[in-house]
A and B are shown apart, each in its own frame.
Chain A
């Protein structure tokens, strides 16, 4: 008897692909739709995207970073100050509504009414309220930094060849005034929650799809070559504002996102879907890739995901062979996860010794100052000479 299953590979059958194997032995998760070779890759999304971005950078891919940290900021402080999380300092973009509005704000189409929140005697940006550990001193300062940041964000959308976007949540906090979508509930990391001004919208699959289609149409207008690699965050919700039990709310949210990701993958040939969510959350993993508490992904889980990713997307030839073969073990570095309900519970990266940042050229958004003819080493040379001339040979480097 002949039927379509006759020609299916082992990976199509649960027992052969999953049931008879240990989690680490399971393969055939993913076949790439397009190559990343020679392409500029940007990342955005929910906190799991930070892992992907970090690993892509470490593996030697051409990673877009339009808001570089100032030289001299210790590397251990980057995440605290919003640097090196994503391709610009937008912080976590949890929802599809945030993504489309981030694009609109970056391109000047949308200017939300509620543009600052008060906190601890200063103000924070409602659209990235924890991007710096301290509030800004004034609204003017906040706006100046935001203008600069949004210019950088626009550059990300304009110049990237591939956007890796990790879909995180469906519960969105919106303004009743103009529909502005905040990453965190007002009142949790600044501002004041006012039921007359703010409301929760638990986005439906149709709404997420519409948001994503809107975003894709808009971004394609300014960057027609852009390809998108979607993932769904395996990290469960920290809390829900719906009446549902948290696990029920999480499964709803992730199911919507996973379904929409599949629809988008089916509808657009420039969209790929990488199943990190299935690798971590699916029954095949038997829960082994979670840390205690079953919410955050353990380092082994990140390594497993990246091993599968890098086996399809080989790192550039210029990358070190070790990096090419194995994902860097940076998965235990805490992610900068702004809590959506409990700001005081935010995990913070452990402080480590300051290290001088490597010298590199000024950020590429603009070149405001002509540095030709400036010898950056001159002061150091003169310090050596001053010591040599005064104290003799032992004093200089």
Chain B
């Protein structure tokens, strides 16, 4: 089974996680992973692709260098995982930097309505969701991989406070999750227990780079890939059944 995982910088840990599984001999049998970034997520809230009929052309010049079209011709994937729809950092940073606080959430600042937050989150992810819907419409099983939530070391926690950051993160992620669910896109969730009682990600999952405060490490990347395996097996079984029936 050919599985393409494509997305933002969180594909890095997934790729290193895959390499780790191969090295340790724990890679699931029968699944060929291709893990490929488009690039950093900062422009994924812009129209970075266009519909070319039977494929998407990646129009963002930098992303296009990494992957000019989706899906790629060779090999054709049996499933496509998107590591991009649920990254909350981009929206959170913009709101916090602007000095706004969402009504009803803890924090100081100028008050923003919940409707505006929802609009901003949906606007932020609309090109990604449109891509997912487009690929799904071409017949590819498309799923989302949930990125990590916040680490306590994230640079915005000190000035804005843990309570503010966690509450905003939860709100943004919930809006994103609802949108992904609405689109009928299965989600590979974070494993239970990776978030501590204080609401932050367990620091043992932090990136190998101690100065990086928002990516996870290879072990966690491998864990997320393993969590995708039951879903992928189900797809493979479904496809096999369909072939047998056909």
Interface residues, chain A, with chain B CB atoms under 8 Å away = 67-74, 77, 81, 132-137, 140-141, 144-145, 147-148, 152, 353-357, 359, 362-363, 365-371, 373-376, 378-380, 382-387, 389-391, 394-397
Residue numbers in B under 8 Å from A380 (CB-CB): 40, 42
Name the contact of A390 in the complex, choosing from B16, B95, B100 (C-beta under 8 A).
Answer: B16
B98 at the interface (CB under 8 A from A): yes
Contacts of B37 in A (CB 8 A): 387, 390-391, 395
A394 with B215: CB separation less than 8 A: no
Using a CB-CB cutoff of 8 Å, which residues 58-78 of chain B contact chain A? 62, 65-66
Given contacts A363-B110, A385-B209, A386-B212, contact A391 B12 (CB under 8 A): yes
**Contact across chains for A141 and B94 when beta carbons are under 8 A apart:** no
The 17 sampled A-B contact pairs (Cβ below 8 Å) are A68-B98, A72-B120, A132-B113, A136-B113, A136-B115, A137-B114, A140-B103, A141-B113, A145-B113, A354-B127, A368-B99, A373-B159, A379-B155, A383-B215, A384-B40, A386-B207, A386-B212
Cβ of B227 < 8 Å from any Cβ of A? no
A77: chain B residues at CB < 8 Å are 119, 123
For A379, what are the chain B residues with a Cβ–Cβ distance below 8 Å? 89, 93, 155, 213-214
A137, A355, A359, A368: the one contacting B108 at CB < 8 Å is: A368
Q: Which B residues touch A397, using CB under 8 A?
A: 39-40, 42, 62
The reply to whether A70 and B95 form a contact with Cβ atoms under 8 Å apart is yes
Is the pair A387, B97 in contact by a Cβ cutoff of 8 Å? no
Interface centre among B8, B41, B89, B120 (most CB of A within 10 A): B120
Q: Note all chain B residues with C-beta closer than 8 A to A373.
A: 158-159
A374 CA to B123 CA, complexed, in Å = 26
Given A144-B103, A145-B111, also A70-B160 (CB < 8 A): no
Contact yes or no, B65 A383, CB < 8 A: no
The answer to whether B124 has its CB under 8 Å from any CB of chain A is yes
Residues of chain A within 8 A (CB-CB) of B152 are none
Inter-chain contacts of A390 with B (CB < 8 A): 11-13, 15-16, 37
B241 at the interface (CB under 8 A from A): no
Distance A395 CA – B36 CA, assembled complex (angstroms): 9
- B103 and A72 contact, CB distance less than 8 A: no
**Interface pair B62/A376, CB less than 8 Å apart:** no
Is B46 on the interface with A (CB-CB < 8 A)?
yes
A353-B47, A356-B45, A363-B110 known; A70 and B100 CB under 8 Å? yes
In the bound complex, CA of A396 to CA of B11 (Å) = 12
Chain A residue nearest to B104 (CB atoms) is A141
Q: CA of A14 to CA of B113 in the docked complex: distance in angstroms?
A: 54
Interface pair A81/B116, CB less than 8 Å apart: yes
Q: Would you give the shortest CB distance from B126 to chain A, in whole angstroms?
A: 7
CB-CB contacts of B24-44 with A at 8 A, as 1s and 0s?
000000000000010111110
Cα distance A369–B126 in the bound complex, in angstroms: 30
How far is B89's CA from A389's CA once the two chains are assembled, in angstroms?
Answer: 21
Q: Are A394 and B93 in contact (CB under 8 A)?
A: no
Q: How far is the CB of B122 from chain A (nearest CB, A)?
A: 10
B112 CB-CB contact with A under 8 Å: yes
Which residues in B have their C-beta under 8 angstroms from that of A368?
Answer: 99, 108-109
Contact B15 A391 (CB under 8 A): yes
A357 cross-chain contacts in B, Cβ below 8 A:
94
Shortest distance in angstroms between B49's beta carbon and chain A's nearest beta carbon? Answer: 12
Q: Which of A69, A368, A383 has the most chain B CB atoms closer than 10 A to its own CB?
A: A383
Asked whether A383 lies within 8 Å of B46 as measured between CB atoms, the reply is: no
- B91 contacts the other chain (CB 8 A): yes
B134 to chain A, nearest CB (A): 16
CB-CB < 8 A to A370: which residues of B? 159
**CB <8 Å contact, A365 and B110:** yes
Is there an interface contact between A383 and B9, defined as CB atoms closer than 8 Å? Answer: yes
Q: How far is the CA of A383 from the CA of B11 in the complex (A)?
A: 10
Identity of the chain A residue whose Cβ is nearest the Cβ of B42 in the assembled complex: A380
Q: A68-B98, A70-B120 are in contact. Are A354 and B108 (CB under 8 A)?
A: no
Task: Assess whether B214 is in contact with A371, with CB atoms less than 8 Å apart.
Answer: no
Interface centre among B16, B103, B114 (most CB of A within 10 A): B103
CB distance A383 to B110 under 8 Å? no
Chain B's nearest CB lies how many Å from the CB of A153? 13
Given contacts A141-B113, A385-B209, whether A374 and B120 have CB atoms under 8 Å apart is no
Q: Is the CB of B99 within 8 A of A396?
A: no
Which of B40, B47, B111 is packed against the most chain A CB atoms within 10 Å? B40
* Given A363-B99, A391-B37, A396-B40, also A382-B214 (CB < 8 A): yes
Q: Give Cα distance in the complex from A148 to B115, angstroms.
A: 16
Tell whether, in the assembled complex, residue A71 and residue B12 are in contact, meaning their CB atoms are under 8 Å apart. no
Q: How far is the CB of B160 from chain A (nearest CB, A)?
A: 6
Q: Are the CB atoms of A71 and B113 closer together than 8 Å?
A: no
Are A389 and B12 in contact (CB-based, < 8 A)? yes
Q: How far is the CA of A376 from the CA of B154 in the complex (A)?
A: 11
